[in-house]
Chains A and B, each alone.
Chain A
Amino acid sequence: MSTIVSLPDQSTATLPKVSYLNKEYGLKSWLLTGDHKRIAVLYMISITFFFFIGGAMAALIRLELLTPTTDLLAADTYNKVFTAHGLIMVFLFLVPSVPATIGNFLIPIMVGAKDLAFPKINLLSWYLYIAAGIMMICVLVFGGVDTGWTFTTPLSTHYLNTNVVTAGLAVFVAGFSSIFTGLNFIVTIHRMRAPGMTWFRLPLFVWSHYAASILMVLGTPVLAITLVLVVLERTIGIGVFDPSKGGDPLLFQHLFWFYSHPAVYIMILPGMGVISEVISTFSRKRVFGYTAVAFSSVAIAVFGFFVWAHHMFIMGISNYSALVFSLLTMLVAVPSAIKIFNWSATLYKGSITFETPMLYAFGFLGLFTIGGLTGVFLGSLGMDIHLTETYFIVAHFHFVMVGGMLMAYLSGVHFWWPKITGRMYPEGVSKLAAVITFVGFILTFFPQFILGYLGMPRRYAAYPPEFQVLNVFSSAGASVLGVGYLLPLLYLTWSLKYGKIAGANPWQATGLEWQIQSPPLTENFAETPIVTHEAYDYEWLANKTRNEVQTVG
C-alpha cells in the first residue's frame, strides 16, 4: 500500500537538541509551566486517566447487562456506575478531549503565535480540571452519586442521599475550566494571528475550535448557575425547581439543556476540525469547499443555541414550542450534512494514502453519518416520543460522541503524535487498532438501536429477558472495543522511547505546525512566520521543498 510518510534517515536522525520537552526539567517546570504545549501534555495525561476510569465504568455496565437480572451489581450500585460513567466521560473526557489537548497544543502554532493569549489562565484551566477530577474521585470513593449525569430535579434535590452536592460542584468547576479554555482560544484566534494569517487562511481546525469556544463561553455559565441553584435547593431548601414550593422542575430542564445541548457541539466540533486536517493531508488536496466547511462550523455553533428543548418533547412543554424547536433541530442537521459531503468530495481526484489517522477519519465519517442521521429520527417530533429515553438515544449519542468524537480524537492523536513527541507510532499495530475499534464499536452500539426501537429503557439495571440476545452482542462488542482502546495506550507509550524519529513533517502536510521542528521549540517559531499562502496549499509546500533542496544543494 502506498504511503506518504517521509521520515529522515533513521541511522543519522536525532531529535532536536532544544525543544519544549527538554528546555527545562523537573516536576516544577511542568506544574508551573505557561507553555501551551506542556499544558496540552498535562491535559492529555489527565484525560487519558479519566477516560480509562470512565471506560472501566462502561465495562461494569456492559457486564451487568449481560444478563437480564441484577446479578453482578445491585440496582443502586448500577445507578452509581452509569452516573459516574456519564459524568466522567462528558465533563472530564469529551468536553476537554480535543480542545484542551490537541487544540491547546496546536491553535497557537496554527495561527502563528508563540503561545495562547493568557498562559496563566490556561494553566489555571488545567488546575481547575484537576480540582474537578479530584472532587469527582472523592464522590466515587465516598459512596458515589446516582443522579445520572443530567441531575434531574426534584430527584437530585430532594430524593437522593448520595454526594449530589460534591458532584454538582465538580461539574461547576470543570465548567469553568472549559470556559477558560474557550476564552483563551477566542482571544488567541482574534488577536494573536501571525502577519498574513487572514481568517480565510486559517486551517479548518482553528475554525471549528473557534465555533466550539463560542459555545463554551456562552453556554457553560448557564449550567453553572443551574447547578448553583440545585446545590442551594438541596442544602438550604430554596424553591426554584421544587413544585411543592411553587417552583418549576421543567425550568431546570430548560436551563440544563440550554448548556447541555450546545455541549454536544462543544464535543463534536473540535473533532470535525481534526477530520478536516486529516482528510486533506492524506488526500494531498485542499478541503473541498473550504468556506462552506468553515461557515458550517459557525452555523452549527449559532443554531446550536436554538434547539435545546428537543430534549423535552415528551415532558409537557407547549406543543407550539415543540414545533419551533423541532424545526430548528432539522435545520442544525444541515451544516453537519454539508461537512460530511464536503469531506467525501475532498477525496475526489486526490492522491489518497491510508495511514492510521486516515483510517480513523474514515471510521468517523461512517459512524458520525449514522449518528447524525439517527439524530434526525430523534429531532422528528412524533418519532421522538417512541425513541427518547430508550437505548435508541443511548446508541445515537454514542455514535456521535464515541464513534464521532473519540474516533476524531484518536485520529488527531495519531496524526500529531510525531509533532508532539518527535517520534512515530508503529504503523502496523495502530492500523489494526483502528480496525478493531471500528468493528468493536459497530458491534457494541448498533444492536442498541434495535433495542431502542423495541423499547428497552435506558438506565435499567435489569431488563425483560427477550432483550438479552442483543445485549449480549453489545457486551461482546464492548470487549472488542476495550481492546481497541487499550492498544493505543500501549503502543503510544512504547513509541515514546522506541518510535522512529519523525522529523519536522512526516506527512508532508501544509499546516504551519508542520513547518517547524518536532517537537517544537517552547516559543514555537524561531521567528514570527509571515503567511503568504492559503491553508492546504500543497503547491506552495512542493515549491518550498524544492527551494529548500536548491538552497541546501
Chain B
Amino acid sequence: MQHFISPVLWQFLIKWLTNFAIFPPEASSIAPYADALYFFLIFISVIGLGAVAALVVTFSIRYRQSRHPVATQIEGSTLLEATWTIIPLILFMITFVWGALLYFRIYSPPPNAMNIYVVGKQWMWKIEHPGGQHEINALHIPINRPIQLTLISQDVFHSFSVPAFRVKREVIPGRYNTVWFEATKPGVYHLFCTQYCGTLHSQMIGWVYAMKPEDYEAWASGSTSGHSLAQNGERLFAALGCNSCHNDTPNAHGPNLAKVYGARLQLQNGQFVTVDDAFLRDTILNPTLHQVAGYAPIMPTYQGQVTEDGLIDLVEYIKQLDSDYRIEQTIDNSASQPVQTSATPTGTSAPALPPGTVKP
C-alpha cells in the first residue's frame, strides 16, 4: 500500500494523524477565562466577516452589470453609517472591558502565592526556588497552588511564556517583573522565550513540570542544593558588610531591616513607598535614589558588584527577616566563621568571594 504514496507524503500523513496540535492544553486556572474571551472574539470575528462577505457576495450577484446595467447613485445613509459605527463600537468596548478584567486577573497575584525567581540570560532560564532548588530551563511546580514568578534578565529582553497557562511576561534587564499562575493539571508543558534575544533565541526553551503536591514535595526535597536562597543571602549580607550599618544597634548608620518587607516607608522626598522585591533590589543598587527619611545618604552602591542571583539571595534573605534575632545571629556567625564558599560556579572560581558577587 505504502508504495502508492510518496514516502514524504506518507510520513507527512502519519505526522498529521499522530502529532497534530490544534489547540493548546488548558492547564491553569486562568486558561479557561482566556479561552472564553478567545471564543467570544472568534465569534464576533465570524459575525463581522460573515456580514461583510454576505454583503459583498449578495451585491456582487444581484447587482452585477449583466443583471443591473445602470447603477443607482446613492449618496449615503447617516442612519446606516451610525449603525455600523455604533455596533462595532459596542462590541469593541465589551472586548475592552473583558480583556481588561482578564489582564488584571493574570497580572494581580494573590497574596498567598508561592514565590519563585527566574533569571533570564542569553540563552537559558535559571529558576531559583526559595528552598534552594536551582534549575536550568525547567520549572517544577505543584498544581492547585498559586505560583508567583519574579522575573529579571541579566542581559537583553526575554519573555517568559507558558502557552498552556496562557501567561507571558517580558523579562527585562534592570527591574523585576512579575507574573502568576495556578496550574490545574499535572503534566509537562512548553516554556518559551518569546522575545527575540539573539542567536540562539529558539533554543531558549524549556519545560514546566506541573506536579501533584506530594510529587512536588518529593522533588523539592530531592533536588535542593542544601542552602536556601535566604541562607545564601545571609552569607552574602555578611560578606558585603551590610551588617556593619544595618544592625539595629542604637548608633547604626542604616535602618533596621527586620520586618521591613511589606512595610510602608517614608522617603526623604516625602513620598511613601511599600517595600517589595523590586524596591529592595533597587535600593541595594541605587541607595540614594530611594533615600529613606531620617538617614544620611552614605550607603555605597552595589551596582556591578552583585549578580542578579546574588541580589535575589539578598532580597530573599531580607524578606525572611522577621525579627532582630536573625540579624544578631548573622553577626555572630560572620564573626565566628569565615565566609564559606558553596557549590555555585562563582564561588568555586573565585574562592575569596562569596557566591552572588561579580568576579572582578
Q: Which residues of A contact B (CB under 8 A)?
A: 1-4, 70, 75-76, 79, 146, 148, 150, 152, 154-155, 159-160, 243-244, 248-250, 283-286, 288-292, 313-316, 319, 322-323, 326-327, 330-331, 333-334, 337-338, 340-342, 344-345, 347-354, 362, 365-366, 369-370, 373-374, 376-377, 379-386, 388-390, 450, 453-455, 457-469, 472, 538-539
Which residue from A291, A316, A352, A538 sits with its C-beta under 8 Å from B73? A538
Chain A residues contacting B252 (CB-CB under 8 Å) are none
Least distance between B305 CB and chain A CB atoms (Å) = 12
Which residue from B16, B38, B45 sits with its C-beta under 8 Å from A453? B38
Q: For the complex, what is the distance from the CA of A383 to the CA of B38, rounded to whole Å?
A: 7
Tell me whether A284 and B59 are in contact in the complex, defined as CB-CB below 8 angstroms, given that A159-B155, A243-B174, A313-B103 are known contacts: no
Asked if B100 and A283 make an inter-chain contact with CB atoms under 8 angstroms apart, the answer reads: no
Tell me whether A327 and B173 are in contact in the complex, defined as CB-CB below 8 angstroms, given that A389-B168, A457-B193 are known contacts: no
Minimum-distance CB pairs A-B, first 3? A455-B163, A382-B102, A380-B99
Tell me whether A459 and B72 are in contact in the complex, defined as CB-CB below 8 angstroms, given that A337-B88, A453-B23, A453-B24 are known contacts: no
Which residue from A155, A388, A462 sits with its C-beta under 8 Å from B156? A155
Asked if B196 and A333 make an inter-chain contact with CB atoms under 8 angstroms apart, the answer reads: no
Interface string of B183-210 (1 = CB under 8 A from A): 0000000101111111111110100000
Least distance between A167 CB and chain B CB atoms (Å) = 15
Chain B residues contacting A388 (CB-CB under 8 Å) are 168, 194
Asked if B37 and A334 make an inter-chain contact with CB atoms under 8 angstroms apart, the answer reads: no
Chain A residues contacting B48 (CB-CB under 8 Å) are 337, 369, 373
Asked if B71 and A4 make an inter-chain contact with CB atoms under 8 angstroms apart, the answer reads: no
Is B12 part of the binding interface, using a Cβ–Cβ cutoff of 8 Å?
A: yes
Please choose the segment from B49-57, B254-262, B267-275, B348-356 that sits at the chain A interface, where 4 or more of its residues have CB less than 8 A away.
Answer: B49-57
Least distance between B273 CB and chain A CB atoms (Å) = 16
Q: For the complex, what is the distance from the CA of A337 to the CA of B48, rounded to whole Å?
A: 9
Q: Which B residue sits closest to A155, measured CB to CB?
A: B156
Is B166 part of the binding interface, using a Cβ–Cβ cutoff of 8 Å?
A: yes
Q: A-B contact count, CB below 8 Å?
A: 307
Interface string of B57-94 (1 = CB under 8 A from A): 00110011110111111111100110011001100110
Most buried by B among A146, A248, A386: A386
Which residue from B69, B71, B159, B163 sits with its C-beta under 8 Å from A283? B71
Is B122 part of the binding interface, using a Cβ–Cβ cutoff of 8 Å?
A: yes
Least distance between B143 CB and chain A CB atoms (Å) = 19
Asked if A362 and B156 make an inter-chain contact with CB atoms under 8 angstroms apart, the answer reads: no
Q: Which B residue sits closest to A389, measured CB to CB?
A: B194
Chain B residues contacting A154 (CB-CB under 8 Å) are 155-157, 173
Q: For the complex, what is the distance from the CA of A169 to the CA of B198, rounded to whole Å?
A: 21
Q: For the complex, what is the distance from the CA of A472 to the CA of B20, rounded to whole Å?
A: 12
Is B295 part of the binding interface, using a Cβ–Cβ cutoff of 8 Å?
A: no
Chain A residues contacting B172 (CB-CB under 8 Å) are 243, 249-250, 315-316
Tell me whether A381 and B71 are in contact in the complex, defined as CB-CB below 8 angstroms, given that A373-B44, A386-B167 are known contacts: no
Which residue from A244, A326, A354, A376 sits with its C-beta under 8 Å from B100? A326
Least distance between B97 CB and chain A CB atoms (Å) = 9
Q: For the complex, what is the distance from the CA of A372 to the CA of B206, rounded to whole Å?
A: 33
Is B19 part of the binding interface, using a Cβ–Cβ cutoff of 8 Å?
A: yes
Q: Which A residue sits closest to B176, measured CB to CB?
A: A316
Asked if A344 and B55 make an inter-chain contact with CB atoms under 8 angstroms apart, the answer reads: yes
Least distance between A462 CB and chain B CB atoms (Å) = 5
Asked if B203 and A382 make an inter-chain contact with CB atoms under 8 angstroms apart, the answer reads: no
Asked if B88 and A382 make an inter-chain contact with CB atoms under 8 angstroms apart, the answer reads: no
Q: For the complex, what is the distance from the CA of A465 to the CA of B11, rounded to whole Å?
A: 13
Chain A residues contacting B89 (CB-CB under 8 Å) are 331, 334
Tell me whether A347 and B167 are in contact in the complex, defined as CB-CB below 8 angstroms, given that A4-B65, A380-B95, A465-B19 are known contacts: no
Asked if B96 and A330 make an inter-chain contact with CB atoms under 8 angstroms apart, the answer reads: yes
Tell me whether A464 and B190 are in contact in the complex, defined as CB-CB below 8 angstroms, given that A2-B65, A159-B122 are known contacts: yes
Asked if A244 and B168 make an inter-chain contact with CB atoms under 8 angstroms apart, the answer reads: no
Q: Which of B1-53 contact A (CB under 8 A)?
A: 12, 15-16, 19-24, 33-34, 37-38, 41, 44-45, 48-49, 52-53
Is B170 part of the binding interface, using a Cβ–Cβ cutoff of 8 Å?
A: yes
Least distance between A71 CB and chain B CB atoms (Å) = 13
Chain A residues contacting B92 (CB-CB under 8 Å) are 330-331, 333-334, 376
Q: Which A residue sits closest to B122, measured CB to CB?
A: A159
Q: Which B residue sits closest to A353, measured CB to CB?
A: B65
Interface string of B148-175 (1 = CB under 8 A from A): 0000000111010101101111101111
Chain A residues contacting B64 (CB-CB under 8 Å) are 2, 351-354
Asked if B71 and A383 make an inter-chain contact with CB atoms under 8 angstroms apart, the answer reads: no
Is B106 part of the binding interface, using a Cβ–Cβ cutoff of 8 Å?
A: yes
Asked if B194 and A285 make an inter-chain contact with CB atoms under 8 angstroms apart, the answer reads: no
Which residue from B20, B156, B168 sits with its C-beta under 8 Å from A386? B168
Q: For the complex, what is the distance from the CA of A77 to the CA of B242, rounded to whole Å?
A: 47
Asked if B201 and A319 make an inter-chain contact with CB atoms under 8 angstroms apart, the answer reads: no
Q: Which A residue sits closest to B104, measured CB to CB?
A: A319
Q: For the complex, what is the distance from the CA of A533 to the CA of B42, rounded to whole Å?
A: 44
Chain A residues contacting B93 (CB-CB under 8 Å) are 330
Is B177 part of the binding interface, using a Cβ–Cβ cutoff of 8 Å?
A: yes
Which residue from B173, B175, B192 sits with its C-beta under 8 Å from A455? B192
Chain B residues contacting A79 (CB-CB under 8 Å) are 196, 198-199, 201
Asked if B71 and A450 make an inter-chain contact with CB atoms under 8 angstroms apart, the answer reads: no
Asked if A327 and B99 make an inter-chain contact with CB atoms under 8 angstroms apart, the answer reads: no
Is B240 part of the binding interface, using a Cβ–Cβ cutoff of 8 Å?
A: no
Chain A residues contacting B198 (CB-CB under 8 Å) are 79, 146, 155, 159-160
Which residue from B66, B72, B199 sits with its C-beta under 8 Å from A349? B72
Chain B residues contacting A338 (CB-CB under 8 Å) are 81, 84-85
Chain B residues contacting A333 (CB-CB under 8 Å) are 88, 92
Asked if A349 and B74 make an inter-chain contact with CB atoms under 8 angstroms apart, the answer reads: yes
Q: For the complex, what is the distance from the CA of A349 to the CA of B197, rounded to whole Å?
A: 54
Is B279 part of the binding interface, using a Cβ–Cβ cutoff of 8 Å?
A: no
Asked if A385 and B24 make an inter-chain contact with CB atoms under 8 angstroms apart, the answer reads: no
Q: For the complex, what is the distance from the CA of A475 to the CA of B106, rounded to whole Å?
A: 34
Is B98 part of the binding interface, using a Cβ–Cβ cutoff of 8 Å?
A: yes
Asked if B163 and A326 make an inter-chain contact with CB atoms under 8 angstroms apart, the answer reads: no
Which residue from A249, A382, A454 sits with its C-beta under 8 Å from B34? A382
Is B105 part of the binding interface, using a Cβ–Cβ cutoff of 8 Å?
A: yes
Q: For the complex, what is the distance from the CA of A519 to the CA of B201, rounded to whole Å?
A: 51
Is B265 part of the binding interface, using a Cβ–Cβ cutoff of 8 Å?
A: no
Chain B residues contacting A539 (CB-CB under 8 Å) are 73
Is B101 part of the binding interface, using a Cβ–Cβ cutoff of 8 Å?
A: yes
Q: For the complex, what is the distance from the CA of A466 to the CA of B63, rounded to whole Å?
A: 47
A-B contact pairs, 9 of them (CB 8 A): A75-B203, A322-B103, A330-B96, A373-B44, A382-B103, A382-B105, A389-B194, A453-B24, A464-B205
Most buried by B among A146, A286, A376: A376
Asked if B80 and A345 make an inter-chain contact with CB atoms under 8 angstroms apart, the answer reads: yes
Is B302 part of the binding interface, using a Cβ–Cβ cutoff of 8 Å?
A: no
Chain B residues contacting A374 (CB-CB under 8 Å) are 45
Q: For the complex, what is the distance from the CA of A345 to the CA of B59, rounded to whole Å?
A: 9
Q: Which B residue sits closest to A361, measured CB to CB?
A: B56
Most buried by B among A244, A333, A457, A460: A457
Q: For the complex, what is the distance from the CA of A351 to the CA of B169, rounded to whole Å?
A: 53
Asked if A459 and B196 make an inter-chain contact with CB atoms under 8 angstroms apart, the answer reads: yes
Q: For the complex, what is the distance from the CA of A214 to the CA of B101, rounded to whole Å?
A: 35
Which residue from A313, A383, A457, A466 sits with its C-beta under 8 Å from B20? A466
Is B107 part of the binding interface, using a Cβ–Cβ cutoff of 8 Å?
A: yes
Chain B residues contacting A377 (CB-CB under 8 Å) are 38, 41, 45
Asked if A315 and B202 make an inter-chain contact with CB atoms under 8 angstroms apart, the answer reads: no
Asked if B71 and A469 make an inter-chain contact with CB atoms under 8 angstroms apart, the answer reads: no
Chain A residues contacting B202 (CB-CB under 8 Å) are 70, 75, 457, 459-463
Tell me whether A159 and B156 are in contact in the complex, defined as CB-CB below 8 angstroms, given that A76-B199, A382-B34 are known contacts: yes
Asked if B99 and A382 make an inter-chain contact with CB atoms under 8 angstroms apart, the answer reads: yes
Asked if B102 and A352 make an inter-chain contact with CB atoms under 8 angstroms apart, the answer reads: no
Asked if B74 and A285 make an inter-chain contact with CB atoms under 8 angstroms apart, the answer reads: yes
Q: For the complex, what is the distance from the CA of A286 to the CA of B76, rounded to whole Å?
A: 9
Chain B residues contacting A326 (CB-CB under 8 Å) are 96, 99-100, 103
